Structure 1
Amino acid sequence: MLPSLVLVSSLIPLFQVAFGATAEQWRTRSIYQIITDRFALEPGAVVNECVVSEQTWCGGTWRAITQNLDYIQDAGFTAIWISPVSQNYHGPRSAYGDAYHGYWSADISKLNDKFGTADDLKARLSRSLLRYLMVDIVVNNVMSTSLTPALSTYMFTKPQHYHPYCPVDYSNITSEQQCWLGDTQVALPDLDTENADVISRYSTWISDLVQTYSIDGLRIDAAKHVRKQFWPAFASSAGVFCMGEVFDPVVANVADYQGSDALDSVLNYPLYYALVSAFTIPGPQNMSALIDNLNQSRAGYTDTTVLGNFLENQDVPRWHNLSVDPQSTYNAMTFTFLAEGIPIVYYGQEQYFSGNGDPYNREPLWLSNYTKTTAYQLMASLNQLRNFMIYTTDWATQQMRILAASQNGIAFQKGEVVTVLTNIGAPPQNLTNTVFLSPWPRGTVAIDIVACRQFVVASGGFLQVEYTKGGVPVVLVHPSALSGSGVCADTVGALYSGTVPSDTVAQSSALRFALAPSLIALVMVAVSGFVGG
């Protein structure tokens, strides 16, 4: 059981809305991602099974989101990202179901009445004082069930507003940006973002959308499929933080879309693939892939502190589908919260949803009864720590520094926080120990905020993490840095009162066992290749 949480009144400014928020403000957020149709039902609605394979409407609305914001706030999230709000395809069921997800745009100048009214979005959700609002938008394309769509049904009604049909060649960037996504059954006609009229109307539309609904940030679908030169003027018209989707495992390809000549931020797909490689069970458990990613990221991105870090979203399999071990989830998730960047949690991740790809990774959350699971509690603990560090220090802009790494683990420091993660999984490992050089002198007591345990730094400045209870994540903070946070309040209080429970202290004398010959292969070694400032 994770420690109980205390809401710190001094953190209230973190939850105040900030219309037109900048990258500087968004880097302090943690984001909960929602597919509107699948998050919550309004009171009195018929609770159906919502069979995801049927690819149809299940009844979620914007109003239902606002009625269930406590679930998000209690986990410590300070922003929500909702699926697209614009009008979608209306017509007979397509070969791939209905437009419940919001990504099949039609006339984007109108709202999607399936999710509610303008007043629902304007007066309820966007004006909530609880969090920032990020809205998903689709700019690259519209949707059609034919290669010869009826253009009168879209905001862009002229043939010259679109590129001519061609199937995408994914080995050619020009083809990716000018040809049509989808297929011949559900086509996605590609807007010509070099057309002056398209550019002008898009600028007007996004400015109006953001101002009318007091939107604080945008997540931009398929940003890679629009020429990069289009984005700076578009983002300027929006006047808010813009995070683009560049679905690619290569840092250089994704990083190309961040900067003054592109967008503020991008979803960190390369990190996602590295985390899958490092932590999933069964899997390659290739921790070096994570280290390589961190080195490439530091060299490639304009600003790593505003990248969107995630384990799941609507376009990739659920983590629990890839990894059967819950500790792999907890360790990888802890990385996304405490490394550089903005943590993003896709709804249902905290409920161990296990759907594979689309549509199975779009389950209804209400069938979980919004249970505050161990994963939910861990998110809350990590958010509580992260929010406090951000509010009391310059933690959001601080770079991480790798203290040690091995095939089975990684230890890194960011500001006042030292994080120790492993991929060995849930089964107890009586002979496995992780040892690393801590940033604190001998005799220092640090608090593990995940389990509220105390660790004592051994001679030589070393710290030991043992896995007799399985490969749990360990997040260490000096108790003085936790004062006033409410994090592990009883443990911190006991320490300062002179009462140190013997069963919660990692004794420094245990270090000699970690260095026994049979264990040398499991000890992490210092890493010199990646050092943060």
Structure 2
Amino acid sequence: MKTRKRFFLSLVSLVMLAFGVSPARATSDTGVANKQNFNTDVIYQIVTDRLLDGNAANNPAGASFSADCSQRKLYCGGDWKGIQNKIEDGYLTGMGITAIWISQPVENITALINYSGVDNTAYHGYWARDFKKTNAAFGSFTDFTNLIAAAHLKNIKVIIDFAPNHTSPASQTDATFAENGKLYDNGTYLSSYTTDPGVFFHHNGGTDFSTLENGIYKNLFDLADLDHNNATVDTYFKSAIKTWLDLGIDGIRWDAVKHMPFGWQKNMMAYVNGYKPVFSFGEWFLSPNEVDPANHYFANKSGMSLLDFEFAQKVRQVFKDGSDDMTGLNTMITDTASQYAQVNDQVTFIDNHDMARFQVAGANNRKLEQALAFTLLSRGVPAIYYGTEQYMTGTGDPDNRARMTSFSTATTAYKLISKLAPLRKA
């Protein structure tokens, strides 16, 4: 078995070298004091509600909570204390993880929303109401700072998801729907979607994704779309992100960057970099084989990196589906090296919360292990989705966000990550 593993790792390295993908090498700058260069880091993405329930006292009451997580659109109990527990017991450090990316920590709506007969909650963290308060289901500010302290003690950086594109689901014609997209400033009501005297929101209907402009100035689905060119909204978000920077975060993952004004985001990054610079990367979704020059322009000019969907989709095609080959992989690596001015700062991955998990039920584990090895030894900043090391499966939302049920350190994937992650610091 050991001989086979050594052969496999050698083969991966040879393949990478053959296609111009040298194993990641950089100075050892992984320490938490370095909040900007993540080249030697390995990120572990966590859907906070789905990792571990560390404090049952903060679980939502009543119909919003599914104790066994059989209803995956409801809260399942995961919280910051649970993440802290897995840091302190060595599960993450044993795997070689040096950064965690957690769900948006801000206060979300508590209303249940019924879509197609299924009750939905804000367990994912993307239905915000107050960007200056915490999601009580995840914990208090004390719980959050305890998590930061515990992570830093183990030399793990903390990245928060941040979604300033919108508040929560709303209806232009029905003020009673959900919480009407209401926005609060540290507990003080500011506006709602249907009653919006300050024009904090766009009121242009839903986007059809036909153009970039259409996606920026119209709602994503039924999410109340904020007007970032409004001076009050701009000031609010600078103050909000300052709140989290002051708590000691080490990075920000910006949601839906394709759907916010580019100029506003560049200005926001200038504010962050002028106040407390941290590693920042945005989400700009690309479908398989999609190449978007606007995506490259944003990565090169906005002041933040991006989740590298070109990398992810091609790795999935080659190692998961078999719908492309090593020539296609080489083409992607070569092309992105010229498309992205700072290609080593783009965040690479093989799956996440918005796509089907890489592992398919009943499939050979080797495909996943090969994809992990390639990603960990390649350029960029690798992000591993929680549970990948346990071969979790799930074809889409919410099944790709199931509760973590095993923390085995004996799986081949866990051991592979633990062996390869330290090489990024070599």
CA contact (8 A) 1:89 1:104 kept: yes
| Deviation per residue, 1:474-515 (Å, 9 max, x gap) | xxxxxxxxxxxxxxxxxxxxxxxxxxxxxxxxxxxxxxxxxx
Q: Which of 242, 245, 248 is the aligned partner of 2:283?
A: 245
The 2-side partners of 1:108 and 1:44 are apart by: 24
**Separation (CA, whole Å) in 2 of partners of 1:54 and 1:329:** 24
Q: Does 1:225 align with 2:245?
A: no
Correspondence for 2:48: 36
- In the alignment, which residue of structure 2 is the partner of 1:264? 304
Give the distance between the partners of 1:152 and 1:320, measured in 2 at CA: 38
Residues 288 and 323 of structure 1, relative CA distance in 2, 3 Å threshold: farther
Work out the CA distance in 2 between the residues paired with 1:90 and 1:161: 22
State the 1:262 CA deviation: 0.7
Separation in 2 of the partners of 1:119 and 1:34? 20
Task: Write the letter of the residue equivalent to 1:116.
Answer: G
The match for 2:339 is 300
Q: How far apart, CA to CA, are the structure 2 residues paired with 1:126 and 1:154?
A: 28
User: Larger RCO: Structure 1 or Structure 2 (Cα < 8 Å, ≥ 6 residues apart)?
Assistant: 2
Contact 1:29 1:342 in 2 (8 A): yes
Per-residue Cα deviation, 1:132-185 (whole angstroms, up to 9, x for no partner)? 110000011111243355465544524511111312121211011111012xxx
Quick one: distance in 2 between partners of 1:43 and 1:97?
Answer: 22
User: Any unmatched runs of 5+ in structure 2?
Assistant: 7-27, 60-65
Match of 1:18 in 2: 33
Q: CA RMSD in A?
A: 2.5
CA deviation after TM superposition for structure 1 residue 299, in Å: 1.6
Q: In the alignment, is the contact (CA less than 8 A) between 1:32 and 1:81 conserved in 2? A: yes
- Is 1:62 aligned to residue 100 of structure 2? no
The CA deviation string for residues 239-286 of structure 1, in whole angstroms up to 9 with x for no partner, is 322100000132523212213x313210000111111221124x3133
Aligned partner of 2:329 in structure 1 is 290
Corresponding position of 1:404: none
Q: Which runs of 5+ in 1 are unaligned?
A: 5-12, 390-533
| Bigger mean CA deviation after superposition, 354-363 or 90-99 | 90-99
What are the equivalent positions in structure 2 for 1:134-145 lying under 5 Å apart? 134-145=159-170
> Contact 1:127–1:214 (CA<8 Å) still a contact in 2?
no
1:280 aligns with 2:347: no
Paired residue for 2:158?
133
Q: Distance in 1 between matches of 2:96 and 2:378?
A: 17
Report the AA paired with residue 32 of structure 2: V
How far did residue 384 of structure 1 move?
2.1
CA distance in 2 between partners of 1:15 and 1:74 (Å): 15
Equivalent position SS for 2:236:
helix
Residue 378 (structure 1) aligns with = 416
* CA distance, structure 1, for counterparts of residue 125 and residue 182 of structure 2: 20
- Structure 1 residue aligned with 2:13: none
SS of the residue aligned with 2:205? Answer: coil
Amino acid corresponding to residue 164 of structure 1 in structure 2: H
Is the Cα contact below 8 Å between 2:91 and 2:409 reproduced in 1? no
Q: Distance in 1 between matches of 2:315 and 2:362?
A: 11
Question: Which residue is equivalent to 1:124?
Answer: 147
CA contact (8 A) 1:29 1:79 kept: yes
Percent of pairs with identical residues: 30
Q: Distance in 2 between matches of 1:200 and 1:323?
A: 51
Structure 1 equivalent of residue 112 of structure 2: 92
Contact 1:251 1:270 in 2 (8 A): no
1:14-67 CA deviation, whole Å, 9 max, x = no partner?
664227x11xx222211001011111122778994312x541111111011111
Tell me the residue number matched to 1:408. Answer: none
Which one-letter code corresponds to 1:167 in the other structure? G
TM-score under structure 2 normalisation?
A: 0.81
Which residue does 1:82 correspond to in 2?
Answer: 102
- Asked if 2 retains the 8 angstrom alpha-carbon contact of 1:312 and 1:346, the reply is yes
Aligned to 1:50: 69
CA distance in 2 between counterparts of 1:217 and 1:89 reads 24
Change (3 A) 1:40 1:99: same
> CA separation in 2, counterparts of 1:124 and 1:35?
15
Q: CA deviation at 1:236?
A: 2.6
Q: 1:74 to 1:14 in 2, by over 3 A?
A: farther
Which deviates more, 192-201 or 222-231? 192-201
Counterpart amino acid of residue 255 in structure 1? H
Query: Equivalents in 2 of 1:364, 1:44: separation in Å?
Result: 15
Q: What amino acid sits opposite 1:111 in the alignment?
A: T
